[in-house]
Amino acid sequence: MEISHEDINPGLRRIVITGRLDIRGTDMIAARFAELSTEAKRNVIIDFTGVTFLASIGIRALISNAKALHKMGGHMALVVGDNTSVAKTLSSTGIDVLLQMFTRLEDAKKSLDSVAA
């Protein structure tokens, strides 16, 4: 379970999560994930391309952070790359309606550029 981030520009951060987002994995990164998502008022791209397993607990964390960010006026977008199983889980739970989901990082950037935080 790994979580890392890069600040693409002052208004946009990319958080990369890899590994198994089950109860244990989510526990391990939950605090850091919340912190990275909401520590500054900026838009955030969550990169789930490297997530091998996404349980509801992981989605719960994602939604909590998205809501918190939204309240602060920021926006969140998801990148899943070619990770079809994660994309399927996200769409089966309706998350793709709440958060914009992209296969390409470039597209996520473009989308968030148009809604500056």
Question: By the criterion CB under 8 A, which residues form the site for another protein?
Answer: 22-24, 27, 53-57, 59-61, 63-64, 66-67, 70, 85, 89, 92-94, 97-99
Nearest approach, Cβ of 2 to another protein (angstroms)?
A: 17
Nearest approach, Cβ of 65 to another protein (angstroms)?
A: 9
CB closer to another protein, 10 vs 94: 94
**In the chain, where do the E strands start and end?**
2-9, 12-21, 43-54, 76-79, 100-102
Does residue 34 contact residue 61 with C-beta atoms inside 8 Å? yes
Phi/psi at 4 (5° precision): -145, 170
CB closer to another protein, 9 vs 83: 83
CB closer to another protein, 101 vs 106: 101
Phi/psi at 40 (5° precision): -135, 160
Nearest approach, Cβ of 92 to another protein (angstroms)?
A: 4
DSSP letter assigned to residue 10: T
